[in-house]
Chain A
Amino acid sequence: MKFMLIMRVTDETLEASKDLDFNEMIAVMGRFNEEMVNAGVMVGGEGLDPQDPGVVVDYSGETPVVTDGPYGETKELFNGFWMLEVASKEEAVEWAKRAPLQGPGSKMEVRRVTEVNEFPQDNEWVQKEKGWREQLGTA
């Protein structure tokens, strides 16, 4: 099964991380990644730019509203993700617990990745999506 570990941080965590030694931070995260690669479970992952939290498009109203920065009141920011191929949810959680994250509001979300076969195969749009996935290389 595939799981996505989604790293979430808050403004406070980001602010605090500015005091940390950059090389040390890279080394700590690198060791975590290496452990998962050595264990043969890591199949992908990306980091999101912490300097530019981007924008949020809110669909609560009739027309989408675009605001700067992370989500609303909580100031929670998705900061990156890992894709793991493991035998159970518990195993994914076990890896998540080893992530070198700390600080108030710093969180990891563990979500199972659905497989394309789980959707109704006779649906025209499901078929189309498979085509897009093929082109994008994101299956």
Chain B
Amino acid sequence: MSGAAETVTARRRVEALWRIESARIVGALARYTGDLALAEDVAQEALAEALVNWPREGIPRDPVAWLLTTGRRRAIDTFRRRSALDDRLPQLDTGPAPERPDDTDDDVLTLMFTACHPVLSREARVALTLRVVGGLTSDEIARAFLVSTATVQARITRAKKSLGAADAGFEAPQADELGSRLASVLSVVYVIFTEGSSASSGGSLIRFDLAGEARRLARVLARLMPGENEVHGLSALLELTSARFPARTDADGEPVLLEDQNRRLWDTSAIRRGRAALRSAERIGRGLGYYGLQAAIAECHAVAPSVAETDWDRIVALYEALGTLAPSPIVELNRAVAVSRDPAEALPLVDAVAEGLPGSHQVAGVRGELLLRLGRTAEARAELERAVSQCGNDRERTVLTRKLATLD
């Protein structure tokens, strides 16, 4: 009985170790083989072997070296098998061994770029990033996204095939494509975060903390690319948004709108980290980008003692900058909401945006809110009812329904 308990303990230890080391191990093996798909395969084989051996024989003194050596051996086996079929393939076993992952930051960065390669679908990028950079198991990824483990495994297998088919190799992007490749990495981290932050809090014990993993990835990126303002901007945005998590649901788990949140619940250390990251983004001196501007808006809320004492002029200006940089009806709508401290002024703005967002529950919701403030209750009710019928998100619908109920 104690044997089984010890096995579980050892297994958890191996998994924790894997979380910490997998990116460097897979990165080193990918550089060694020049093939991320192969590196991931052999790294998983090495991990599987460790999960069998270590609980039985104890964890080796240098587990990283053990995993690297085992992975390398598997890679050599694979190359031998392949070259037996095709003698044009290189013989790797005479080449240099993968280096100890001590100074392999570049490999981790290349790993991120490759996992977020443009030939992959967004879903594939997310799954592959969580697997090879985050060190998550297929089970953990499956539970985080509420899909089956088989689905995740299929996604990762397909992703690896796509990389192979595109001959993606394992190389850092060229200078001329760095911007777009970095944008892909940042957007994957952002997707992981939003997926995590929309998770119901009740299930957080079972579901892997994706929002936390996204924050971690953003911090890692900020260390790897300290000169990129948007990396710091993203990190700032994730910290400042996370800071509000403790206040976003009430005691019954119902969602609470920003304006109704108890600001005392906001995580001040996360706010501090977010603001520090935002200052890092600003210090680079190239202004703020897509994420940085959103972080700056989040900062306006984070530092305001109340809705009334919020610097709405600055928020409107930041939304205007965001709208210029990345024009989108949603940004315009948000700008209108910020202007809506004066509902009479905001209403025509919202109407102008509405054409770009046909059938949007958000437009209807905002219009309803503005009409309500203008005392046009009957029209407000109609808009809110329309918003409820158009809304596809349970949490948001609850908020709208409750607002409607207060009109009675």
Q: Which residue numbers of A lie inside 8 Å of B, CB to CB?
A: 1, 37-41, 43-44, 85-88, 90-91, 93-95, 115-117, 121-122, 127, 130-131, 133-134, 136-139
Contact = CB atoms under 8 A, between A and B. Distances in A.
A40 B220 contact: yes
Contacts of B263: 134
Contacts of B266: 134, 139
Given A37-B223, A38-B223, A116-B265, A85 B13 contact: no
A87 B273 contact: no
B19 A91 contact: yes
Interface of B: 12-13, 15-17, 19-20, 105, 208-209, 212-213, 215-220, 223, 246, 251, 262-270, 272-273
B216 A85 contact: yes
Given A39-B216, A87-B213, 4 more contacts: A37-B223, A40-B223, A94-B20, A134-B266
Contacts, number: 77
A138 B212 CA distance: 19
A43 B16 contact: no
Given A40-B215, A43-B273, A87 B208 contact: yes
Given A38-B220, A40-B217, A115-B246, A130 B264 contact: yes
Contacts of B270: 139
Contact of B216 (A1, A40, A90, A138): A40
B212 A87 contact: yes
B135 to A, nearest CB: 9
Contacts of B17: 94
A44 B269 contact: yes
Contacts of A136: 268
Contacts of A43: 269, 273
B264 A137 contact: no
A117 B202 CA distance: 12
25 contacts: A1-B212, A39-B216, A39-B220, A40-B219, A43-B269, A85-B212, A87-B19, A87-B208, A88-B15, A88-B19, A90-B15, A90-B16, A91-B16, A91-B19, A91-B20, A94-B13, A116-B246, A117-B246, A117-B265, A127-B264, A133-B264, A137-B268, A137-B269, A139-B267, A139-B270
